[in-house]
């Protein structure tokens, strides 16, 4: 079975003298005491090619017995937030904890049982075989009987916009059912406070990670979403998240494009003044000249802001690279001692291919 993805090594971790591949299934939870047992029971306990499967629950400030139920069910890892911090923060905490626990592949699923547990094998296999860095579970929104017509339309429109912004072919952009390789998880830095789904895809697309979609089944959920209070709220926050993520990774295009658009608009009243001036009626159109000049200056300022933002983005890329190297150093320091020649060790700091 090949272990090498496109541009990223799929690493097998050294544990107790042998190579093991560890999968950690993370479940962000907020007051999920009633649904969590059913979700946990549906998770697979064995997958071909996976040596160790562990479960991680992120208790995002729950007011019920979510953490106690997870502990009683034998969950391997529990991350606790003292207050509710939102889905994006819970996802970030889960990824960090899974990496520290030595996960080679991380699967994120919802606590409400929307996604079928047996489909985890479907989204894991492309990562395990080295074909993808990230795999998204595609719920086939257009035909999904569990979605109402308004939700279907919004999901289709949102996914189309995300595809355009991220330059990917993911049909279900807001699906939270996804598998992530270890290296991909280390390179993704979620900055939004609302939902990680679109932010993560735009980042992954711009970083040229291999992203696949896999059709998955869904179950009917018995409660409304806790992520948003109303559809307008969801649309507004999702739009802000997409715009922010796209601007973060394409500042020059956004700001210079906006600046040029303002300059073009500013040329219209200036041309109007020039036409009137050469017609002998320029005195009555000085306002057009003033307005056009102000727009030209504003457009130039916005364009310069784009150059500065691009330089800041370059520094951010360097910081992200340093963060990845720091995580690798932490992994190296946490490794068991190497016995024998370094080049023969199955998991070296250089990530020697197995």
Q: Are strands 178-181 and 105-108 parallel, antiparallel or unpaired?
A: antiparallel
Which of 218, 128, 217, 110 is CA-nearest to residue 180?
Answer: 128
Residue pair 25/105 in contact (Cβ under 8 Å)? The answer is no
pLDDT of the residue at 249: 79
- Calpha distance 326→186 (Å, rounded): 10
Tally of CB atoms within 10 A around 301: 13
pLDDT of the residue at 227: 57
- Calpha distance 273→270 (Å, rounded): 5
Q: What letter does residue 335 receive in the DSSP assignment?
A: S
Query: Residue-wise pLDDT tens for the chain (354 aa)?
Result: 333 333 443 444 544 445 789 999 999 999 999 889 999 999 999 999 999 999 999 999 999 999 999 999 999 999 999 999 888 899 999 999 999 899 999 999 998 888 989 999 999 999 999 999 999 999 887 777 767 777 777 777 878 888 888 888 888 888 889 999 999 998 888 888 777 888 888 888 888 899 999 999 888 776 666 655 666 777 777 788 788 888 887 888 889 999 999 999 999 999 988 888 888 776 767 888 899 999 999 999 999 998 898 888 788 777 777 777 777 777 677 665 444 333 333 333 333 333
* Dihedral-angle region of residue 253 (phi above 0 means left; psi in -120 to 50 means alpha; beta otherwise): alpha
Q: What letter does residue 222 receive in the DSSP assignment?
A: S
Tally of CB atoms within 10 A around 280: 7
214 DSSP β-pair partners: 137
- Calpha distance 224→10 (Å, rounded): 37
> Using CA atoms in the order 228, 229, 230, 231, what is the torsion angle rounded to 10 degrees?
0
pLDDT in tens, 93-118: 999 999 989 999 999 999 888 898 99
Which of 180, 176, 173, 184 is CA-nearest to residue 209?
Answer: 184
CA 310, 313, 315, 318 torsion-angle sign: negative
Tokens of 349: 């700091």
Q: What letter does residue 167 receive in the DSSP assignment?
A: T
pLDDT of the residue at 279: 81
Q: What letter does residue 12 receive in the DSSP assignment?
A: P
- Using the structure block, give the residue that is written with the tokens 């190579």: 19
Tokens of 264: 């073009």
Length of the chain: 354
pLDDT of the residue at 103: 93
- Calpha distance 199→344 (Å, rounded): 40
pLDDT of the residue at 56: 96
- Using the structure block, give the residue that is written with the tokens 């789904």: 197
Q: To which H or E segment does residue 52 belong?
A: strand 52-60
- Calpha distance 98→105 (Å, rounded): 9
19 DSSP β-pair partners: 14
pLDDT of the residue at 3: 32
């Amino acid at each position: 079975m090949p272990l090498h993805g496109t541009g990223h090594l799929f690493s097998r971790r050294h544990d107790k003298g042998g190579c093991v591949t560890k999968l950690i299934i993370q479940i962000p939870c907020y007051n999920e005491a009633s649904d969590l047992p059913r979700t946990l029971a549906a998770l697979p306990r064995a997958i071909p090619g996976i040596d160790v499967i562990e479960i991680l629950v992120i208790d995002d400030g729950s007011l019920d017995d979510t953490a106690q139920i997870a502990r009683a069910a034998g969950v391997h890892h529990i991350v606790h937030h003292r207050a509710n911090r939102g889905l994006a923060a819970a996802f970030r905490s889960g990824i960090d904890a899974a990496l520290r626990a030595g996960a080679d592949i991380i699967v994120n699923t919802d606590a409400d049982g929307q996604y079928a547990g047996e489909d985890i094998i479907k989204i894991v296999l492309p990562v395990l075989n080295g074909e993808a860095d990230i795999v998204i579970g595609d719920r086939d929104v257009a035909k999904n009987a569990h979605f109402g017509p308004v939700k279907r339309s919004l999901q289709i429109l949102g996914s189309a916009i995300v595809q355009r912004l991220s330059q990917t072919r993911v049909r279900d952009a807001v699906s939270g059912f996804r598998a992530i390789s270890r290296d991909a998880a280390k390179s993704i830095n979620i900055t939004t406070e609302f939902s990680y789904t679109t932010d993560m895809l735009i980042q992954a697309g711009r970083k040229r990670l291999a992203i696949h979609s896999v059709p998955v089944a869904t179950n009917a959920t018995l409660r409304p979403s806790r992520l948003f209070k109303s559809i307008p709220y969801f649309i507004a926050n999702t739009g802000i998240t997409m715009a922010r993520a796209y601007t973060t990774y394409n500042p020059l295009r956004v700001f210079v494009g906006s600046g040029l658009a303002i300059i073009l608009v500013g040329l219209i009243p200036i041309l109007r003044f020039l036409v009137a001036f050469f017609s002998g009626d320029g005195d009555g159109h000085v306002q057009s000249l003033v307005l056009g000049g102000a727009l030209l200056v504003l457009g130039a300022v916005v364009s310069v802001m784009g150059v500065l933002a691009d330089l800041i983005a370059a520094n951010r890329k360097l910081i992200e690279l340093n963060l990845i190297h720091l995580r690798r150093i932490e992994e190296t320091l946490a490794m068991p001692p190497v016995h024998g020649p370094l080049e023969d060790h199955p998991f070296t700091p250089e990530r020697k291919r197995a």
